[in-house]
Amino acid sequence: MSTDVATLEKPWKEYTFVAFDTETSGQYPIVDEIVEIGMIKWRGGQIIDRYQTLIKPSKPMGEAVIKIHGITNEMVEHSPAINDKINEIYDFLNGSVVIAHHAPFDLGFLTYEFEKFRKPLFSDTAVCTSLLARALIQSPNHRLQTMVKLLNINHEQAHRAESDAEACLQLAFHCMNLVGANATLKQVVKAQKRTLWWQDYSLKTVENNQKWRGFMEALHEGKNVEFVYEAGTHKGKPRQAKPIGVVRNPDGDYFPALCLIDNVVKRFYMNKISDSLIIN
């Protein structure tokens, strides 16, 4: 389900881009959900389409996350569920190079929803404006709001999906022009120092691996997991934890989980887990 994007050899200005942003009910797919998505489509030097929708999550949001994006439970009460919008979202993205700020976060949430509704993952690459900004722009930090102020980018409403997506698009163009006005997409991806493919954020591949299946089942059912971890002070010995999420990350995939030995949340990296089994 792609164009010839995977070749990466054409000048970046010749591709269709979709800058997008998701607002969510928390940090992690499976346990948390998308509550808003905004997308801006660009082709041939101009914005050609827009998409925005609120999404009603399956359970109420907590106050902490509401304070971040300002989307209340009352605002989404009569909004469509994700299953009513997934086809529109998928079709809008199809055939485009996606752009997002902290792209692994947004890719993680969308990939989970696409797989849940049996949508084939795109073979196209993704551009991350956070990675590009870190590589190309000197700044104390590279948060989107910092970049907006530094580069005088118009940004109407912070932490709302469509406005963040448009700011992200402008930041992407600034960064890609720094790489080169006639640079190829391959050169842009090289500048961000990570190649981000949709498949890298698949959770089906995690669920289908026996070593990690216990963690995934525990996440879905809200239970604990017993596992063997080949690192730390309890290396090679069975231990127990309560998973609170799953993170697929270019620097290492991991399960954040409450360790039931130390009673603190830790990162358990997938490549160090040798076995796992769901328990009560």
Respond yes or no: is residue 174 known to be catalytic: no
The tokens for 141 are 């930090």
The tokens for 156 are 């109407």
* Rounded Cα distance, 278 and 273, in Å: 14
* Rounded Cα distance, 125 and 96, in Å: 9
* Rounded Cα distance, 6 and 101, in Å: 21
The three-state secondary structure class of 10 is coil
Length of the chain: 280
> Angle formed by the axes of helices 129-136 and 185-192, to 10°?
70
- Residue 52, C-beta contacts closer than 8 angstroms, at least 6 positions apart: 36, 37, 38, 39, 161, 162
Choosing from 69, 142, 159, 174, which is the catalytic residue?
159
Q: What are phi and psi of 56, to 5 degrees?
A: -85, 120
Specify the residue for token string 């200005």. Answer: 13
Question: What are the residue numbers of the active site?
Answer: 159
